[in-house]
Amino acid sequence: MNFFETIFLDLGFSWTLAKLIPYVLMALLGFILVYTLHQRVKQRLKKWLSMSILCLLPFWTYFAFFPIYQGDFVNTHFQPTCLEKFPSKLTLNVVVLPSCPYCHETIPFMNKLIERHPNLHIRYVVVAKSSKSMRGFRSTLNRKIAVDLSKKPEDWIIMAQGGFPCMILSEHKKIIYAWENDHFGVRAIDDILSHLK
């Protein structure tokens, strides 16, 4: 989440719109630049080339710094078999491995998510046999986020379908659905928050 997206979230927009609006504004800025400068260039070929570049420049510059990922605007989830007990409350279960760098990369985002939505329950499930493997997560996660050690690591690996991190949304001790890391974007966040209402 970048500065511009944060502004739109603070204004009350959904996570999806907060991600989309800056791109739309950059495209509009490109058209405004073309509209205001098109009469200054007289030669036809130079005009066409310079106006095309000016039109696309703001959008591509923003995209270069803040790219769109596959999971941002597509909400692709799956339904794993429920092999473990889940909490009764609506909970986002983040299934992680202790040595997985992508799993550790989820920490800043989940910390921001719990700050913005303190009524959302988030729980990290560390798939390992030793409680020492939880330290890296417990020391950096917000205190409102629970960190549990998996009791049956094999069952969690099956539920995550071998992909880590895996986000599993549960309620009433059952799985609603789950996301692979590549498919967990702003649409998924909006979907989760719609269950809170």
Residues 119 and 190 in one domain: yes
Please answer whether residues 71 and 183 qualify as being in contact, where contact means their C-beta atoms are separated by less than 8 angstroms.
yes
Crossing angle (nearest 10°) for helices 3-10 and 15-37? 110
Q: Is residue 83 part of a domain?
A: no
On whether both 126 and 60 belong to a single domain, the answer is no
Claim to verify: residue 97 and residue 191 sit in the same structural domain: yes
Domain count, the chain: 2
Residues 48 and 111 in one domain: no
Residue 183 and residue 117 share a domain: yes
Residue numbers of the domain that contains 42:
3-65
Shared domain check, 159 and 96: yes
Residue pair 124/94 in contact by the 8 Å Cβ criterion: yes
Residue 82: inside a domain, yes or no?
Answer: no
End of a domain among 27, 48, 65? 65
Note whether residue 178 is domain-resident.
yes
Query: Does residue 73 register a pLDDT over 90?
Result: no
Tell me, what DSSP letter sits at residue 152?
S
Which of 7-16, 31-40, 76-85, 152-161 bottoms out in mean pLDDT, i.e. has the lowest?
31-40
Question: Where does residue 87 fall: left (phi above 0), alpha (psi -120 to 50 degrees), or beta otherwise?
Answer: beta
**Average pLDDT over the chain, rounded to an integer:** 91
71 within some domain: no
Give dist(CA 156, CA 107) in Å, integer.
19
Q: Is the pLDDT of residue 131 over 90?
A: no
What was the pLDDT predicted at 54? 82
Last residue of a domain, one of 24, 48, 65: 65
Please state the pTM of the whole predicted model.
0.84
Is 98:128 a contact under the CB 8 Å cutoff? yes
Upper half-sphere CA count for residue 27 (Cβ side, 13 Å): 5
Q: How far apart are CA 39 and CA 181, in angstroms?
A: 48
